Structures are given as structure tokens and as C-alpha cells.
């Protein structure tokens, strides 16, 4: 009976999560369909900037390393600016859709760009720290596998070492992915709340606490077209894979930007925590 109640509770939890994802997708589709060209234009500008920076770095790498580095920095800042402009424009559509606003009017301030760059640096450091903290897993697994070698479950220590590396890498990738999801909402706080760099990381951890399943389901739904592309590519159906890729590029990418912004707003509407949360109590 207890096991049945646990399964029922889990099913109800999934239903609530699925409903939340459906609600986010529905709202995002409404906004995207009404303002598709303006949102898609900003996404296209991000795509052009990203690819142009790679081409520029390739052509200038043998000419002048200093110039190549400078141009790469300029393109990175330009990419960040367009990215923040996209989020700011979507916020405007969610808050006051009836009032027209130009893309130029959504440009972030200089302080917001600087905070975004610093927060991105903090974001990278958090990912690296997560990987470092997972190193003790090797010392936990090592005696277990030594016992398995002595018991005959594993052939030799070389095979045990391979298993250790495989398990440790799998755990590391999973943990880094979970942390990445938890703190990846920091740009929204910089634009919406004008939060400082490290404050945006803490707020992202706090607001995503308890919402990991919903966010993961949302990402899986949004990545569905890409999974189809990989599936048709694996089947060696290039025409269908190309069509799916085009649909993903021109429809799913703009929709994803709006959906993540809508998800952020819904999490903030339900957030009951502190304005200045600490990290320790919001990690798990």
C-alpha cells in the first residue's frame, strides 16, 4: 500500500511538471507566433556574430595574434550584447506587448554587459569547481573495485582502472550538467532585476531549487527536433534530416529563447525565498 502511494505521488508530481511545461510552451508559442520576425532577427544576428567571429579568428590567426585576440573579444562582447537584447525584448513582450519597442531600445546598459561578462566567468568557475569536488569519488570507488578484482568480478586492475575512469567521468558529466541547468538562468536576473554578477548566480540557484524536473522536461521538449535530426542522420536520411534541421534552426531556436524567459517568470512568480540567498542552502 505504501509503495502504491509513493508511485501515485510520483505520477502526480510528473503530471504537475508536465502541465507546467505545457503551459510554458503554450505561452511561448503565442508570443513567438505574434512576433516571430523580430525575435528570429535577433537570433539570426547572434548566429551571424558567432560564425563571423570564428571566420575572423581563422583568417587573422597567422596575420597578427594580438589583432586576432582583439577582434575575438569584440565579437564576444557583441554576441553578449545581442543575447541580452533578445532577453530584454522578450521581457518587454511579456510585460507590455501592446506597446511597440524597437530592437535598439532593448540594448542593455554598459553595466549590464559588464555584469554579464563577470557572471559568465563565475559560471565557468562554478563548473570547474564542481568537477574538482567530484575527484574524491575516485577514492570512494577505488577500494570497491579492488574488492571486485579480488572476488573475480573484474579481470584485473587495468580493467578496474577503466571502470573507475568511466564511472567517474559519467558522474562528473551528470553533476556538471545539473549544475549548469541550475545556474544558467543568471542572465535573466541581470536584465530583469539588474542584479550584480555573483548575485545573479545565487538567485539562479535559489529559484531553480525544486524546479529541476520541470526545467529538464522543458529542455527535453525543446531539444526534441535536434534529437530527431540525429535520429534521421543515423538512419542516413539526409533530406529529412536537413528539413528537420531547418525547422529547428528557424522555429525551435526562437521558441526556446521565449520559453526559457517564460519559465524564468513563472519560477520568479512562485519564488518565496530571500532577495539575497546564500549558496549552501540552495545547492540541493
Q: Is the pLDDT of residue 112 over 50?
A: yes
pLDDT of 188: 93
Which residue ranges make up each domain of the chain? 1-34+211-284
pLDDT of 190: 92
Per-residue pLDDT band at 148 (split at 50, 70, 90): low
pTM: 0.79
Q: Is the pLDDT of residue 11 over 50?
A: no
What is the spatial distance between Cα 100 and Cα 102, in angstroms, rounded to a whole number? 7
| Residue 77 grid cell | 562582447
Per-residue pLDDT band at 115 (split at 50, 70, 90): very high
Q: Is the pLDDT of residue 169 over 60?
A: yes
If one compares 256 and 274, the residue with the highest pLDDT of the two is 256
Cell 507566433 -> residue: 33
pLDDT of 156: 61
Full DSSP string of 226-276: HHHHHHHHHTT-HHHHHHHHHHIIIIIHHHHHHHHHHHHHHHHHH--S-SS
Average pLDDT, integer, range 142-163:
66
Average pLDDT, integer, range 268-275:
78
| Residue 176 grid cell | 556538471
Q: Where are the beta strands (DSSP E) in 128-246?
A: none
What is the spatial distance between Cα 273 and Cα 189, in angstroms, rounded to a whole number? 15
Q: Is the pLDDT of residue 79 over 80?
A: yes
| Residue 173 grid cell | 558529466
CB atoms within 10 A of CB 208: 21
Q: Is the pLDDT of residue 159 over 70?
A: no
Average pLDDT, integer, range 143-164:
66
List the single range of 8-17, 120-129, 185-194, 266-275 with lowest mean pLDDT.
8-17
List the single range of 38-42, 75-79, 162-166 with lowest mean pLDDT.
162-166
Q: Are 194 and 216 in contact (CB under 8 A)?
A: no
Amino acid at each position: 500500500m505504501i509503495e502504491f502511494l509513493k508511485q501515485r505521488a510520483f505520477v502526480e508530481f510528473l503530471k504537475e511538471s508536465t502541465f507546467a511545461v505545457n503551459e510554458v510552451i503554450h505561452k511561448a508559442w503565442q508570443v513567438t507566433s505574434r512576433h516571430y520576425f523580430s525575435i528570429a532577427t535577433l537570433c539570426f544576428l547572434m548566429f551571424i556574430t558567432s560564425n563571423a567571429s570564428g571566420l575572423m579568428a581563422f583568417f587573422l590567426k597567422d596575420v597578427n595574434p594580438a589583432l586576432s585576440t582583439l577582434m575575438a573579444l569584440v565579437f564576444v562582447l557583441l554576441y553578449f550584447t545581442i543575447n541580452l537584447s533578445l532577453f530584454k525584448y522578450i521581457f518587454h513582450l511579456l510585460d507590455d506587448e501592446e506597446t511597440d519597442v524597437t530592437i535598439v531600445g532593448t540594448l542593455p546598459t554598459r553595466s549590464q554587459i559588464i555584469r554579464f561578462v563577470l557572471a559568465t566567468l563565475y559560471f565557468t568557475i562554478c563548473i570547474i569547481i564542481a568537477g574538482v569536488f567530484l575527484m574524491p569519488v575516485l577514492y570512494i570507488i577505488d577500494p570497491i573495485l579492488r574488492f571486485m578484482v579480488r572476488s573475480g568480478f573484474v579481470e584485473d586492475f587495468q580493467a578496474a582502472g577503466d571502470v573507475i575512469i568511466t564511472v567517474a567521468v559519467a558522474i562528473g558529466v551528470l553533476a556538471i550538467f545539473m549544475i549548469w541547468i541550475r545556474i544558467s538562468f543568471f542572465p535573466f536576473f541581470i536584465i530583469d532585476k539588474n542584479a550584480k554578477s555573483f548575485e545573479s548566480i545565487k538567485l539562479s540557484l535559489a529559484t531553480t531549487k525544486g524546479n529541476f524536473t520541470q526545467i529538464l522536461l522543458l529542455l527535453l521538449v525543446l531539444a526534441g527536433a535536434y534529437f530527431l535530426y540525429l535520429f534521421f542522420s543515423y538512419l542516413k536520411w539526409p533530406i529529412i534530416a536537413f528539413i528537420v534541421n531547418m525547422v529547428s534552426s528557424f522555429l525551435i531556436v526562437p521558441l526556446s529563447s521565449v520559453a526559457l524567459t517564460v519559465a524564468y517568470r513563472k519560477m520568479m512568480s512562485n519564488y518565496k525565498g530571500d532577495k539575497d540567498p546564500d549558496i549552501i542552502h540552495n545547492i540541493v
